[in-house]
């Protein structure tokens, strides 16, 4: 198995682009593993609605970056205390539950370090009844990308707050995350190890199971393609927000002395219609202003959606 060097990059857009590029472009005769940490970000599934998953008010204030990944599953919070791993392997029907094999050396390493962990049927890793790792897959007919998280020493308070939407969504067609109780691996180790030492132990564990890890360096042309993919896809509005399934949000508006309720029907993150279920005397000015928003991108911070 080959170990991909990510040059200690912590930009989530670049790291997700690196995952996808390696999955689609590297020599399919080999299997690969990639480790990385991201700066504060929320990485959500390919079929999810970020407005349903993220506290955008908090994310804006704390500069938490939302990024959509190519695999399914729920939203996860990343920071410098969260270690991410990606396995890139050959595709095969018998490997659709390949996580059982791929996760085994990670489970064994954690147990050897003193963390009594278990794998669930959905390939989460639990520590004394609390989640420390969520995992998902993406595959084509040649390759499989199997990746996941390891909460080593994350800010769990910020994690919980950031993954609670501050928007009043009344209907959604998106895949919703299932909230879980979480904990940090470092707590089970008594604070005796930092994340770099933990990564060292994980690499040793993988070497024992899959043979010695040989580091592979991407070429300059590879990195140019990775950064182009990050810029054109993972930083783009169309990928991050524009792929969001349809949803309806209840919006409270201030109009002179009135508190007005509006329902915004949104698809692909664009406002399709605005309905006011409760009528008030002479709302023609507010209706006209709201009508002008139809066909525009939905932005929770838009001042026109706060007061009219």
| Structure-block tokens of residue 124 | 């989460």
Phi, psi of 235 (to 5 degrees): -100, -5
Pick from 235, 258, 233, 249: nearest CA to 299: 249
pLDDT (average), residues 141-168: 94
Q: What is the pLDDT of residue 256?
A: 67
Reported as type and span, the H/E element at residue 113 is helix 99-113
pLDDT in tens, 273-296: 988 776 665 566 677 777 888 999
Q: 3-class SS at 48?
A: coil
Residue 94 to residues 28, 122, 148, Cα–Cα distance (Å): 17, 17, 20
Q: What class is the 2-240 domain?
A: alpha beta
Calpha distance 134→69 (Å, rounded):
14
| Structure-block tokens of residue 119 | 């794998």
Q: ∠ at Cα 303 (300, 304), nearest 5°?
A: 100
Q: How many residues does the chain have?
A: 308
Least confident of 7-11, 233-237, 266-270, 284-288: 284-288
Calpha distance 79→182 (Å, rounded):
15
Tell how strand 65-68 and strand 41-44 pair up.
Answer: parallel
Task: Band the pLDDT of 307: cuts 50, 70, 90.
Answer: low
| Structure-block tokens of residue 250 | 């209840």
Q: 3-class SS at 109?
A: helix
Q: What is the pLDDT of residue 282?
A: 59
Calpha distance 96→11 (Å, rounded):
29
Which residue carries 């399914």 as its tokens? Answer: 72
Q: Where in the chain is the domain with CATH 3.30.930.10?
A: 2-240
Residue 94 pLDDT greater than 90, yes or no: no
pLDDT (average), residues 251-271: 84
Q: What is the pLDDT of residue 274?
A: 87
DSSP for residue 37: -
pLDDT (average), residues 106-114: 95
120-132 core/surface letters (b: 16 or more CB in 10 A; e: else): eeebbbbbeeebb
| Structure-block tokens of residue 244 | 């969001």
Rg (CA), the chain: 22
Residue 46 pLDDT greater than 70, yes or no: yes
pTM of the model: 0.92
pLDDT (average), residues 106-119: 95
Calpha distance 301→239 (Å, rounded):
19
Burial class (CB in 10 A: 0-12, 13-18, 19+), 185: buried
Instruction: Please give the biggest Cα pair distance in the chain.
Output: 75
Q: What is the pLDDT of residue 92?
A: 67
Calpha distance 91→139 (Å, rounded):
7
Contact assessment for residue 29 and residue 81, using Cβ atoms and an 8 Å cutoff: no
Residue 97 pLDDT greater than 90, yes or no: no
């Amino acid at each position: 198995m080959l170990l991909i060097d990510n040059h200690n990059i912590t930009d989530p857009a670049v790291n997700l682009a690196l995952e996808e590029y390696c999955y689609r472009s590297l020599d399919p005769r080999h299997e690969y593993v990639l480790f990385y940490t991201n700066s504060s970000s929320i990485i959500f599934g390919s079929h999810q609605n970020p407005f349903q998953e993220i506290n955008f008010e908090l994310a804006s204030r704390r500069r938490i970056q939302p990024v959509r990944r190519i695999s399914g599953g729920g939203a996860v919070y990343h920071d410098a205390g969260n270690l991410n791993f990606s396995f890139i392997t050959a595709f095969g029907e018998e490997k659709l539950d390949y996580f059982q094999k791929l996760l085994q050396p990670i489970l064994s390493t954690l147990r050897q370090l003193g963390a009594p962990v278990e794998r669930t049927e959905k390939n989460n890793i639990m520590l004394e009844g609390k989640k420390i790792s969520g995992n998902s897959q993406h595959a084509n007919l040649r390759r499989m990308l199997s990746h996941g998280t390891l909460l080593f020493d994350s800010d769990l308070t910020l994690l919980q707050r950031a993954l609670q939407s501050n928007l009043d969504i009344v209907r959604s067609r998106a895949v919703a995350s299932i909230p879980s109780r979480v904990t940090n691996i470092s707590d089970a180790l008594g604070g005796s190890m930092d994340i770099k030492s933990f990564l060292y132990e994980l690499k040793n564990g993988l070497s024992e199971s899959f043979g010695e890890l040989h580091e592979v360096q991407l070429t300059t042309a590879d990195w140019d393609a990775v950064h182009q993919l990050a810029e054109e896809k993972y930083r783009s509005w169309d990928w991050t927000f524009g792929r969001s399934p349809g949803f309806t949000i209840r919006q409270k508006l201030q109009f002179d002395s009135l508190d007005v309720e509006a329902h915004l029907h949104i698809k692909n993150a664009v406002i399709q219609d605005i309905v006011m279920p409760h009528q008030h005397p002479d709302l023609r000015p507010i209706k006209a202003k709201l009508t002008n928003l139809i066909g525009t991108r939905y932005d929770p911070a838009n001042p026109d959606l706060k007061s009219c």
